[in-house]
Amino acid sequence: MSILIKNNIKLLVCDMAGTTINEGGIIYKAIQSTLCNLGFNINNSEMHKWYGRDKSEVMQSYITANNRNEDNSLLIKQAEKDLLKCLEQKYFEEDNNVRLIDSNVLTFFDKLRYNNIKVALNTGFPMKFQSRLINHFNMNDSIDAYISSEQVERGRPHPHMIHKLANDLDIHDTRHIAKIGDTIPDMLEGINAKCGLNIGVLSGAEDYDGLYPFSDIIMNNIMDLDDLPPLPSYQQHLLPPYQQFLLKYNISS
C-alpha cells in the first residue's frame, strides 16, 4: 500500500527545483552570479544558507547585512531584476540540461489525483517565473494548485505557503498533508505547518546527514513514492497527449 494512502494523506506539497525539476543547482549559482555582478564577494560556503529559501529574501538579507552604510532599496530592486533575467536565460534560453526530475513524474501525479490525493507545487521562485516554469514543463494538467513564497507573508521555513494551499484546497487538518523537498527549510516548513509526513529527497541540494534530523522519511527522489497501480485504461485520456501515445504503443519513456 502506498505510504501516502496508509498515512491518510490528502495533499502532497512538492518543492520544485531539486524535487520535481532537475536543474543542477542553477538557482543558487544564479544568485551568486547576480550578487557578484553587483560587487559582492560570495564564497561557495555561504550558498548553503540559501537552500530552499525565498530567493528575494536571500538577496535582501545578504545585501542588507553586507552593505550596512547605504540605502539598499534600489540595489535590492536591481538584484531582483537581474536575478530574474539570469534565471530566464539559464532555464529557457541557454543550451542546458534542465528537465523534470523523472520523465514519469507527471504520470505519478495523475495517479495520486486518481487516488484522491491532491498535488500542489510550492517554491521560493518569484511568482511569474514559477508560472512560466510550470507552463514550460506542461505541469498544469497534472496538479491541483501552485504557490510562490512571493504570495504569502513569509517564505520557508515558515508554514504560510502550506497553510494557504490547505485553505484553498479545503484540507482542514494539516496532518493529512505530506511535504516533500530537498532542503532543510523544506522540512522545517512541513514541521512548522504540522504536516503528517515530511519527506526528504536526495535529488537536489541537501545530503542525507543534513535532511535526517528533520525528515520522517528520506528517499532518493520523489518517484520512490510511486508504488501505486497504473491508471485504469479509461482514465488514461486524462494524461497529456504524448503520454497517451507512449501508453498506446507500449513505448518506454
Residue 124: pLDDT above 80?
A: yes
Q: Where does the pLDDT of residue 234 fall: very low under 50, low under 70, confident under 90, or very high at 90 and above?
A: very low
Contact 120, 13 (CB under 8 A): yes
Which of 39-43, 72-76, 173-177 ranks highest by mean pLDDT?
173-177
Mean pLDDT of all residues belonging to the chain: 88
What is the spatial distance between Cα 203 and Cα 8, in angstroms, rounded to a whole number?
Answer: 25
Name residue 198's amino acid.
N
Stated pTM of the model = 0.84
**Nearest CA among 100, 142, 136 for reference residue 119:** 142
Residue 155: pLDDT above 90?
A: yes
What is the spatial distance between Cα 221 and Cα 15, in angstroms, rounded to a whole number?
Answer: 12
Name the more confident of 43 and 244.
43
Written as one string, the DSSP assignment of 156-191 is TTSSHHHHHHHHHTT---GGGEEEEESSHHHHHHHH
What is the spatial distance between Cα 151 and Cα 121, in angstroms, rounded to a whole number?
Answer: 13
Dihedral sign for Cα atoms in the order 245, 248, 251, 253: positive
Residue 96: pLDDT above 80?
A: no
